[in-house]
Amino acid sequence: MTLPFLAALHFPPIDELVNWKALALKGTPLAINKTVLLTWLGVFLTIGLYWLAGRRAKASEDLVPRGSQNVVEATVEFIRNDVILQTIGPAGLGWTAFLVTMFFFIFFLNIFECIPVIQFPVTARMAVPAFLAIVVWFIFNTIGIKNQGFRGYMRSVLKPPGVPKSLLILVVPIEFLSTLLVRPFTLAVRLFANMLAGHLLLVTFAVLCAALFTKSVMAVILPLPFAMLVLFWAFEAFIALLQAFIFTILTAVYIGGAMEPQH
């Protein structure tokens, strides 16, 4: 019972779209289900990749990187040159480790969607993106208060420069809502809804293919949905990468915005 359930070999009922059934420690707040197991797998993959690449970088005698070291070095360079230097500037280089780790963690959780026998993006459960967004919210607010002081940070958040005094009564509530409430909400919902929508798209075509896989005459149109399934599969792999990148770059934008007062 448990193995085909874990390996996605049977189609789960529709109410499990938002809530998997627990496998262990049922009924307690610490219940373990497929989402939890896959999150652990994502954590171990992220740590393992860096541990492997770091060990290889220390051990290698030749200057040309190989294997996992290549992947990690290319990503670190990409995050540093195309994300941090473009959005925060040289002052944000200390955040490279955090942003690279977050990029890989989100990417691993997303790409589970396209891997056979797992076929489930962990980020399609609201808890995971919501937690990541709350972490980002605390980080950029802490940076803003530390760098500009509480009053200075509130002034730079709530009062955009160049706004006439008579409009402030309108602008201040809007800025308060958009920076402190809507930002983490959209950050989480963007990742969650993209992955859930992609997952549903793949499920729709997979179920259609399975329904057509019969001996009846309808089976002649089976190649069409199957071709769509393969195409969307590749597309979703691209989306998994893109959403990890967008989450990372938006985090960098928010951190950069909190570091310096707006002018």
Partner 1 sequence: MELLAQADPTKGLSAVGAGIGYGAAAIGPGIGIGIVVGQAITAMARQPEAAGMVRTTMFLGIAFTEALALIGFVVFILLKFT
Q: How far is the CB of 115 from partner 1 (least distance, A)?
A: 24
Q: How far is the CB of 86 from partner 1 (least distance, A)?
A: 6
Q: How far is the CB of 78 from partner 1 (least distance, A)?
A: 11
Minimum CB distance to partner 1 smaller for 14 or for 117 = 14
The whole-angstrom distance between residue 83's C-alpha and the CA centroid of its chain comes to 16
Task: Give yes or no for residue 253 binding partner 1 (CB under 8 A).
Answer: yes
148/155 Cα distance (integer angstroms): 9
Buried/exposed 58-78: b ≥16 CB within 10 Å, e otherwise: eeeeeeebeebbeebeebbee
Burial of 15 (0-12, 13-18, 19+ CB in 10 A): exposed
Minimum CB distance to partner 1 smaller for 81 or for 214 = 81
Task: Give yes or no for residue 32 binding partner 1 (CB under 8 A).
Answer: no
- Contact at 8 Å (CB) between 87 and 249? yes
Beta bridge partners of 32: 24
Q: How far is the CB of 180 from partner 1 (least distance, A)?
A: 16
Minimum CB distance to partner 1 smaller for 197 or for 231 = 197
Task: Give yes or no for residue 197 binding partner 1 (CB under 8 A).
Answer: yes
Nearest CA-CA partner of 83 in 239, 243, 240, 253: 253
For partner 1, the binding residues in 34-63 under the rule CB under 8 A are none
Among 33, 35, 123, 194, binds partner 1 (CB under 8 A): 194
Beta bridge partners of 24: 32
Q: How far is the CB of 195 from partner 1 (least distance, A)?
A: 10
Q: How far is CA 18 from CA 35, 122, 259, in A?
A: 11, 11, 37
Task: Give yes or no for residue 82 binding partner 1 (CB under 8 A).
Answer: yes
Task: Give yes or no for residue 14 binding partner 1 (CB under 8 A).
Answer: yes
Q: Given the rule CB under 8 A, which residues bind partner 1?
A: 14-15, 17-18, 82-83, 86, 186, 189-190, 192-194, 196-197, 242, 245-246, 249-250, 253
